[in-house]
């Protein structure tokens, strides 16, 4: 891996929590400060075919919006499709993906590498590429994006803290209904911060 790079891993507690929008916001702020960024998503999940090749829709979307050059973007290390999973289950794929992940990131020479995690903390465990394992492998700080459904979100975030430990930089609580915002600010946020889970945005 590029020795000068810092890795920020953006994960979530469930699918469709707002990781891509969060990445765009962070990237915009970093670029405005003259900080060079690169982007990758090791586990591909949203596949589409384009002129005979398979592409990851999130990667294409973020690359286009941020106008990143090719040498600052990496396509997924692997795609979480049925064929890939069946090969792993059947023993045809015994790859050490922790080493593959380090090799995968090696070409990205920027100040900060934004790494988009899978939909949940456990996704990718079959390949040693779960969110906690990726964070550990590349020594990344983790920003969790969590969609608000109820104050039971505290449960999921406490579990995430247990799994991620000191790697957890903080959380962004997304999609809070206006009539719940005051209660989240006065109840949930102080509780989480007492548990050493910084709330970086709501």
Q: List pLDDT tens digits, range 151-182.
A: 999 999 999 999 999 999 999 999 999 999 99
Question: What's the pLDDT band for 48 if we cut at 50, 70, 90?
Answer: low
Token pair in block for residue 176 = 């809070």
The residue written with tokens 């930089």 in the block is 169
Domain boundaries, the chain: 6-201
Class of domain 6-201 (CATH, top level): alpha beta
Residue 119 to residues 1, 16, 43, Cα–Cα distance (Å):
24, 7, 10
Q: What is the mean pLDDT of residues 99-125?
A: 94
Question: Do residues 13 and 156 make contact, with C-beta atoms less than 8 angstroms apart?
Answer: yes
**Mean pLDDT, all residues of the chain:** 91
Question: Do residues 135 and 168 make contact, with C-beta atoms less than 8 angstroms apart?
Answer: no
Q: Specify the pTM.
A: 0.90
pLDDT of residue 56: 72
Residue 55 to residues 143, 172, 195, Cα–Cα distance (Å):
25, 28, 40
CB neighbours of 119 closer than 8 A, spacing ≥ 6?
Answer: 12, 14, 15, 16, 17, 45
Does residue 94 carry a pLDDT above 50? yes
CB neighbours of 74 closer than 8 A, spacing ≥ 6?
Answer: 38, 39, 40, 41, 42, 104, 105, 107, 108
Q: How far apart are CA 31 and CA 176, in angstroms?
A: 28
Q: How far apart are CA 58 and CA 23, in angstroms?
A: 11
């Amino acid at each position: 891996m590029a020795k000068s790079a810092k890795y920020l891993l953006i994960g979530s507690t469930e699918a469709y929590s707002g990781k891509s929008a969060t990445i765009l916001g962070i990237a915009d702020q970093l670029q405005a400060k003259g900080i060079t960024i690169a982007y990758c998503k090791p586990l591909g999940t949203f596949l589409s075919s384009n002129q005979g090749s398979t592409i990851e829709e999130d990667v294409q979307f973020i690359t286009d919006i941020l106008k990143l050059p090719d040498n600052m973007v990496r396509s997924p290390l692997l795609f979480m499709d049925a064929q890939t999973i069946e090969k792993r289950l059947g023993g045809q794929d015994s790859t050490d993906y922790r080493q593959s992940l380090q090799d995968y990131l090696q070409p990205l020479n920027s100040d900060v590498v934004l790494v988009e995690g899978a939909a949940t903390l456990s996704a990718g465990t079959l390949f040693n590429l779960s969110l906690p394992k990726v964070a550990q492998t590349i020594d990344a700080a983790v920003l969790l994006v969590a969609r608000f459904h109820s104050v039971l979100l505290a449960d999921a975030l406490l579990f995430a803290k247990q799994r991620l430990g000191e790697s957890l930089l903080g959380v962004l609580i997304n999609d809070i209904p206006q009539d719940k915002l005051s209660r989240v600010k006065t109840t949930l946020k102080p509780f989480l911060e007492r548990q050493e889970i910084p709330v970086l945005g709501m």
